[in-house]
Amino acid sequence: MQDLFDTSQFREDFIEETVEILDSLDKELIKLENEPDNMELLNSIFRAVHTLKGSSAFLNFLTIKDLAHVVESVFDKLRNKKLTLTSNIMDVIFEAYDYFKLMVNKVIDEGTDKMDISSILNKLENIKEYGDSKEKTSKTKKQSNKKAEEEKVKFNTDTEKSVEQIIEKTDSNEIDIVNKENLLEKEDDVSDEIEEDIDYESETLSKESKIPNSASQQVKGLHSIRVDTRRVDVLMNLVSELVTGRNRLIQVGSQFKSEDLDESLFFIEKVVTEVQSAVMKIRMVPLEKVFSRFPRIVRDLEKKLEKNIKFIIEGEETELDRVVSDEIYDPLLHMIRNAVDHGVEIPEVRKKNKKNEQGTIILKAKQEDNFVYIDITDDGKGIDYKVIREKAIKKGIITREQSDNMSEYDIINLIFAPGFSTTEEVTEVSGRGVGMDVVKSSIEKLGGIVDIITEYGKGSTFRIRLPLTLAIMQVLIIGVANKKYAIPLNSVLETIRIEKTEIKTISGEEVIFLREKTLPIVYLSSVFNIEEYEKMDKKLNIVVLGIGANRVGLVIDEMYGKQEIVIKPLGKYLGKVEGITGTTILGDGTIIMILDSGLIANEGKSFSKKKNFIKSEKTFHKKTINVLYVEDSTTMQKMAKRALELNGYRVDTVFNGIEGLEKIKEKKYDLIISDYNMPNMNGYEFFKEIKNNDEYKFIPKILLTSENIDIEDGEWGELNLSAYLKKPFNEDKMIKTIENIFREG
Partner 1 sequence: MALNVEEKNTDELQVVVFELEKSYYGVHILQVQEIIKMTEITKIPNTPKFIEGIVNLRGNIIPVMDLRKRFGIPPIEVSDEWKILILKTEELQFGVMVDQISEVEKIAVNIIESPPKIVSGVKGEFISGIAKTEKRLLILLNIERILSEEEQDMLKII
Of 22 and 580, nearer to partner 1 (C-beta) is 580
Q: Is the dihedral of CA 341, 342, 345, 346 positive or negative?
A: positive
C-alpha to C-alpha distance for 520 and 554, rounded to whole angstroms: 9
- Considering the rule CB under 8 A, would residue 153 count as an interface residue with partner 1? no
- Considering the rule CB under 8 A, would residue 587 count as an interface residue with partner 1? no
Binding part of the chain for partner 1, among 322-330, 332-340, 568-576, 709-717 by CB under 8 A, reads 568-576
For the annotated catalytic residues, the residue numbers are 50, 72, 338
C-alpha to C-alpha distance for 107 and 98, rounded to whole angstroms: 14
- Considering the rule CB under 8 A, would residue 234 count as an interface residue with partner 1? no
Binds partner 1 (CB under 8 A): choice among 452, 559, 585, 636: 585
- Considering the rule CB under 8 A, would residue 526 count as an interface residue with partner 1? no
Q: Are 56 and 48 in contact (CB under 8 A)?
A: no
- Considering the rule CB under 8 A, would residue 244 count as an interface residue with partner 1? yes
CA of residue 310 relative to chain centroid, distance: 28
> How near is the Cβ of 277 to partner 1 at its closest, in Å?
21
- State whether residue 465 is helix, strand or coil: strand
- Considering the rule CB under 8 A, would residue 593 count as an interface residue with partner 1? yes
Binding part of the chain for partner 1, among 262-270, 522-530, 633-641, 733-741 by CB under 8 A, reads 522-530
- State whether residue 373 is helix, strand or coil: strand
Question: What are phi and psi for residue 212, nearest 5 degrees?
Answer: -65, 130
C-alpha to C-alpha distance for 226 and 248, rounded to whole angstroms: 34
- Considering the rule CB under 8 A, would residue 686 count as an interface residue with partner 1? no
- Considering the rule CB under 8 A, would residue 571 count as an interface residue with partner 1? yes
Per-residue x/- track, 341-360, partner 1 (CB under 8 A): --------------------
> How near is the Cβ of 641 to partner 1 at its closest, in Å?
22
Residue 258 zone, left/alpha/beta (φ > 0; ψ -120 to 50; rest) = beta
Number of residues that bind partner 1 (CB under 8 A): 25
Binding part of the chain for partner 1, among 15-23, 328-336, 514-522, 524-532 by CB under 8 A, reads 524-532
Of 561 and 589, nearer to partner 1 (C-beta) is 589
Residue partners of 462: CB distance under 8 A and separation at least 6: 335, 339, 375, 376, 377, 450, 451, 452
Of 260 and 578, nearer to partner 1 (C-beta) is 578
C-alpha to C-alpha distance for 618 and 528, rounded to whole angstroms: 10
- Considering the rule CB under 8 A, would residue 5 count as an interface residue with partner 1? no
Q: Are 669 and 628 in contact (CB under 8 A)?
A: yes
Of 239 and 414, nearer to partner 1 (C-beta) is 239
- Considering the rule CB under 8 A, would residue 479 count as an interface residue with partner 1? no
Give the bridge partners for 547, in sequence order.
550
- Considering the rule CB under 8 A, would residue 589 count as an interface residue with partner 1? yes
Residue type, 334: H
C-alpha to C-alpha distance for 385 and 180, rounded to whole angstroms: 42
> How near is the Cβ of 247 to partner 1 at its closest, in Å?
12
Burial class (CB in 10 A: 0-12, 13-18, 19+), 81: exposed
Of 130 and 533, nearer to partner 1 (C-beta) is 533
- Considering the rule CB under 8 A, would residue 459 count as an interface residue with partner 1? no
> How near is the Cβ of 216 to partner 1 at its closest, in Å?
43
> How near is the Cβ of 587 to partner 1 at its closest, in Å?
12
C-alpha to C-alpha distance for 389 and 332, rounded to whole angstroms: 25
Binds partner 1 (CB under 8 A): choice among 528, 629, 669, 696: 528
Of 89 and 243, nearer to partner 1 (C-beta) is 243
Q: Is the dihedral of CA 381, 387, 392, 394 positive or negative?
A: negative
DSSP 286: E
C-alpha to C-alpha distance for 146 and 91, rounded to whole angstroms: 12
- State whether residue 429 is helix, strand or coil: coil
- Considering the rule CB under 8 A, would residue 481 count as an interface residue with partner 1? no
Binds partner 1 (CB under 8 A): choice among 501, 529, 635, 708: 529
C-alpha to C-alpha distance for 642 and 613, rounded to whole angstroms: 11
Element (H, E) at 478: strand 472-480
Binding part of the chain for partner 1, among 306-314, 404-412, 523-531, 616-624 by CB under 8 A, reads 523-531
Binds partner 1 (CB under 8 A): choice among 36, 131, 508, 569: 569
- Per CB under 8 A, residues contacting partner 1 are 241, 244, 527-530, 568-575, 577-580, 583, 585, 589-593
